[in-house]
């Protein structure tokens, strides 16, 4: 198991691996050779950033059995886009936009694509998974489902800061057996294992690749379990994905 982070210091932005509370800087980018530079830093000395810089973000709706309620399981993955401008770093704030009235957190496992995929089989898609991290698919329910809902989810799920990501991308783990939890002000509001997913990661990636080429570095938010809860200014939201760490964001 390896944990990859992206971080900034006074000398610039770097990628590194995380062992406990020690950062080991690596040369180049996330998908390069991962050669250590020999530079080590305490985690407390760096500013954590989104652990990758995706070219595009897709997301799956209704992908946990525990989230469906009485609704039937979808026959295929239900996909939508989130803009890269919605990304937010760990510890940085989720901002409630003007006119938003019912903003919810959605804790999710996010998959990072390590290889380009086009018309990929499930086996090819499985081999293209670089790793996973935690994400929060922030959503305004009124814009999404309300009486005057938008035609598309462009702002309901795509407003600035509506895609917190991190803190670390973890590799070498069983992606189907990770515990995913969301807490608001310390209270656990979502708790489920990723084994509850309706469509596993290779299925989702293979499905997308039939129409949209997935490029190295793209990310997919893979769905949220159980019930979600409204956030208000002053809240602290934490999404914890086993091994990947705790994605913590204040709300303002």
pLDDT in tens, 94-113: 999 999 999 999 999 999 99
Query: What was the pLDDT predicted at 68?
Result: 83
Query: What was the pLDDT predicted at 217?
Result: 98
Residues 79-84: what's their mean pLDDT? Answer: 98
**Does position 210 have pLDDT exceeding 90, yes or no?**
yes
Residues 217-223: what's their mean pLDDT? Answer: 98
Query: What was the pLDDT predicted at 161?
Result: 98
Among 180, 181, 223, 221, residue whose Cα is nearest residue 84: 221
Q: Using the structure block, give the residue that is written with the tokens 């814009």.
A: 143
Residue-wise pLDDT for 120-176, tens only, equals: 999 999 999 999 999 999 999 999 999 999 999 999 999 999 999 999 999 999 999
User: How much is the pTM?
Assistant: 0.97
Query: What was the pLDDT predicted at 67?
Result: 84
Comparing 188 with 70, which gets the higher pLDDT? 188
Among 114, 120, 96, residue whose Cα is nearest residue 250: 96
Query: What was the pLDDT predicted at 36?
Result: 96
Query: What was the pLDDT predicted at 69?
Result: 79
Q: Which domains does the chain have, with CATH numbers?
A: 1-48 (2.30.30.370), 50-250 (3.90.850.10)
Long-range contacts from 230-237, C-beta under 8 angstroms, 24+ separation: 230/102, 230/103, 230/104, 230/141, 231/94, 231/96, 231/103, 231/104, 231/105, 231/138, 231/184, 232/96, 233/96, 235/184, 235/185, 236/184, 236/185, 236/186, 237/94, 237/105, 237/136, 237/182, 237/183, 237/184
Among 175, 156, 153, residue whose Cα is nearest residue 241: 175
Written as six digits, the tokens of 34 are 């991962």
**Does position 231 have pLDDT exceeding 90, yes or no?**
yes
Query: What was the pLDDT predicted at 7?
Result: 98
**Does position 91 have pLDDT exceeding 90, yes or no?**
yes
Residue-wise pLDDT for 16-74, tens only, equals: 999 999 999 999 999 999 999 999 999 999 999 999 999 999 999 999 998 887 889 99
| Beta-sheet pairing, 187-193 with 245-250 | unpaired
Query: What was the pLDDT predicted at 207?
Result: 98
Query: What was the pLDDT predicted at 120?
Result: 98
């Amino acid at each position: 198991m390896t944990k990859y982070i992206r971080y900034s210091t006074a000398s610039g932005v770097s990628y590194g691996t995380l062992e406990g509370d020690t950062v080991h800087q690596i040369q180049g980018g996330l998908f390069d050779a991962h050669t250590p530079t020999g530079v080590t830093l305490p985690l407390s000395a760096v500013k954590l950033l989104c652990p990758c810089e995706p070219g595009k973000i897709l997301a799956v709706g209704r992908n946990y059995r525990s989230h469906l309620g009485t609704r039937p399981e979808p026959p295929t993955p239900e996909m939508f886009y989130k803009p890269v401008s919605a990304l937010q770093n760990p510890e940085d704030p989720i901002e409630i936009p003007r006119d938003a009235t019912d903003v919810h957190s959605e804790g999710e496992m996010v998959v990072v694509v390590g290889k380009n995929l086009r018309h990929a089989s499930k086996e090819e898609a499985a081999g293209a998974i670089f790793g996973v991290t935690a994400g929060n698919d922030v959503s305004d329910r009124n814009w999404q489902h309300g009486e005057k809902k938008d035609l598309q989810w462009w702002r309901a799920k795509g407003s600035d800061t509506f895609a917190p990501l991190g803190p670390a991308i973890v590799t070498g783990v069983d992606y189907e057996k990770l515990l995913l939890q969301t807490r608001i002000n310390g209270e656990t509001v979502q708790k489920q294992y990723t084994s509850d997913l309706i469509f596993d990661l290779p299925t989702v990636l293979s499905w997308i690749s039939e129409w949209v080429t997935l490029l190295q570095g793209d990310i997919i938010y893979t769905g949220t379990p159980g019930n979600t809860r409204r956030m208000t200014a002053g809240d602290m939201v934490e999404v914890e994905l086993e091994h990947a760490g705790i994605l913590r964001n204040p709300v303002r």
